[in-house]
Structures are given as C-alpha cells and as structure tokens.
Amino acid sequence: MQSESVLVVGAGVIGAAIADTLASRGASVTVLDMRSPGRGASQASAGALVPYIEAHEDTPLLALGARSLAMYDEFIRRLVTRTGLTIEYSRPGSLDVALGDDDVARLQVVKAWLDTRGVGNEWIDGRSVASFEPAVTSTARCGLFIADHGFVGVSSLVRALVQSARLAGAAFEAPVEAMSVHPHDDRVEVKAGDRSYAADAVVIAAGSWSRRIRISGVESPPVKPIRGQLLHLRWPDADRPSRIVWSSRCYAVPWSDGSLLVGATVEDVGFDENSTVAGVHDLTDAAGELLPKAWQAPLEAVRVGLRPASPDGLPAIGTLARAPRVMVATGHYRNGVLLAPLTAQMVAGRLIDDVIDPVLPSLSPDRFDSRA
C-alpha cells in the first residue's frame, strides 16, 4: 500500500516523528491531537537514551533500542539543520550505581553480558566511584559506566519535529480527539466529534489513549496507561552529575541549565494524571540516597505522564490484517523517545514504499487480536 495522504492520530514524540518522516517523504499529512504536540506522556519524559539499562540480554526490545540509538546522531543533526532550532542532546554515557549486594550481583551479570557483545563499558570499583562521579553517594559499592548512552530534551525535540513536519507541508490540528476509525476499500475515515477526516491511511499513535479509539471491525490495541511521576530539581551548586546516573530505585538526568530530572514512578492507576505525596516522597528519598545533595535541591516541578504499556512489553507497530489502511504505532511504554527514529522509519517504509521491516511481524498489533 503506497499512501499519498495519511492521518496521524497523536502528536507526542512518536506521532510527531512519524508525521515529520512521512511529510519529508512527500506524503500529505494531517496530525490530530487531543491536546497539543508533546503535552501527553512526552512532557513527563526525562529523555534518557539507555537501551542497555532498560533491557538486558538478547531481547527484541534491546535490539530495537540499540538500533534506534544508532540513528540518533543523524536524527538530531537533520532536525537542527532543517529547522534552525536548538535541541539539547548529549551522549556522555550513563553510570549504573550499586548501593547493595543485590545491585552488585546485577551489575556483574550485566557487565559480563555487555562484554560478550562488544558493548563499551567500564567497571568502577567502590573507591573510584566518588572520583568518577563526585555527586554520587560515598557509600556506593561500585558502578558500571556505559559510554554509548545519552539523553535528549524531549520538549525541544517535539518542537523541532513539529516544525520540520510543517516545513514539509504537514498540518497539525488540536485540540481534536479522534473517537473512531472506519476503514473502507479505498480510504479510511476518522470521526472526531462532529468532524470527519479521510485519507489513504491512518496511523494511530495516541499512546495510552490508543485503546479508546474504536476501529470498526477490529479490536483496538490493548495498551494501558502506567503513571510515571518525575521530579524537576534545581541542583544547589555547580557539582551536579555530569551524566545519567541510575540506581535500582531511580535515575537522574542532568541538564545544561543546572536542573536535574529524577524519575520515575511506575503506577497502574488508570488515567489518573495527578501527582501524589507518596510518589514525590519515594522519588525524593531515592534521589537523596543516590545523590546526597539532592536533599538540598529546590523542587521546581512534578511532571506526570501516562506511559502506554502493552501486555508483553513490546510496542505494537504495523498495519492491521483486517484493516490494512490502519497502522498502529503505540505501546512504547518507557522507550518512546528512544524508539522514535526507528518507529518513524518503519512506519514510513511501510506506508510510502510498501516495505515491511524484518522486525515488524514480531511487533504486529494483530498479535493481541484473537480474531485476526
């Protein structure tokens, strides 16, 4: 199926990346979002690009993450060149810190696995952690540094993706909440209140809200929202972490403006987007345990996002067997920012060139549909 016009439902980092890639490839693109670009889960993301922490061993998720991370330098370079906008992006590596015996054993297993795969890493013993990363607690048992990791400013990334897509002719409409999708032989229609849109194809990239969009004759992808609370701290002095710092209880991402993002809770509470005292307490306690000066850091904001989780932990990306003009790109959970370049490439390849990436069959949304 070669699509000349595409409706993209959702303007988070996944939807915006898809819209930009499709429009840049010559498709006529309209993006519908219930809020405005980047105002859902994307605004509550710390932007960590850490595939070798988020997934270990030879899993499909790790393969996806490593492949997408390898695309990031060119992904950012292209956006900055095209739009002239600034995107905070850095690859200083990550330091996974062990604070107890279980953490030490875990990092030993991870290091052995990384070594067998040729992934650059460095073991930091307990006495050396303080000199390697002075902000980390002096009680750290050891650390594992992974050089390839990095982070990106998600708000600035979404802004650049939207601007790049618009320069290529894409239109963004918000607030527009798509309620239903009606596939036909020669087109697909999307109903949003009293409005109706039609195109050659539609991409459902609405994150946790993807399941609420009814698709005629097809089960909607079974993603569910998992609330993540994130602390935005103002570091109290110049001695803030110089790279991503990770522990079994939290992670911290430093920014050039002197702030630190600390995340994130994992809460199955439906569509509740409120921050909580319990969530803030748990993150504050974990941050102080890992980075003692965090106890003196002013708390500037608490961000909350609903991350779309699938039943098997893998994203759902691909066309629907019983509705081939409908493509799904959701269920990225904690890895939406990391997987944005690869997801956009796979979606555009399928819709523009009718090329099926070798990994797409394993990510097919039909794997959740008992009737497919």
Burial tier of 286 (Cβ tally within 10 Å: 0-12, 13-18, 19+): buried
Q: Write the pLDDT tens digit of every residue in 17-56.
A: 999 999 999 999 999 999 988 888 888 899 999 999 987 6
Q: Write the pLDDT tens digit of every residue in 174-220.
A: 999 999 999 999 999 999 988 999 999 999 999 999 999 999 989 88
> If you search the block for the tokens 């102080």, which residue do you land on?
288
Outline where DSSP puts E strands in 40-153: 48-49, 89-90, 94-98, 121-125, 142-146, 150-152
Domain ranges of the chain: 5-72+154-223+312-368, 94-147, 224-309
> If you search the block for the tokens 């905070």, which residue do you land on?
88
Nearest Cα to Cα of residue 337 among 77, 95, 119, 76: 76
Per-residue pLDDT at 88: 95
Per-residue pLDDT at 250: 96
Q: Is 107 left (phi over 0), alpha (psi -120 to 50) or beta?
A: alpha
Q: Kindly report the CA angle at 237 between 233 and 238, in degrees rounded to 5?
A: 110
Nearest Cα to Cα of residue 6 among 207, 190, 167: 190
- Top pLDDT among 248 and 57 is at 248
Q: Are 110 and 75 in contact (CB under 8 A)?
A: no
Question: Phi/psi at 98 (nearest 5 deg)?
Answer: -100, 125
Give one DSSP letter per residue of 257-296, joined into a string. Answer: TSEEEEE---B--TT-----HHHHHHHHHHHHHHSGGGGG
Q: Write the pLDDT tens digit of every residue in 307-357.
A: 999 999 999 999 999 999 999 999 999 999 999 999 999 999 999 999 999
Q: Write the pLDDT tens digit of every residue in 109-164.
A: 999 999 999 999 999 999 899 899 999 999 999 999 999 999 999 999 999 999 99
Q: Which CATH superfamily is domain 5-72+154-223+312-368 in?
A: FAD/NAD(P)-binding domain (3.50.50.60)
Q: Are 14 and 207 in contact (CB under 8 A)?
A: yes
Per-residue pLDDT at 370: 66
* Token pair of 270 as six digits: 């439906």
Per-residue pLDDT at 38: 80
Backbone CA torsion sign across 165, 167, 168, 174: positive
Report the CATH number of the 224-309 domain: 3.30.9.10
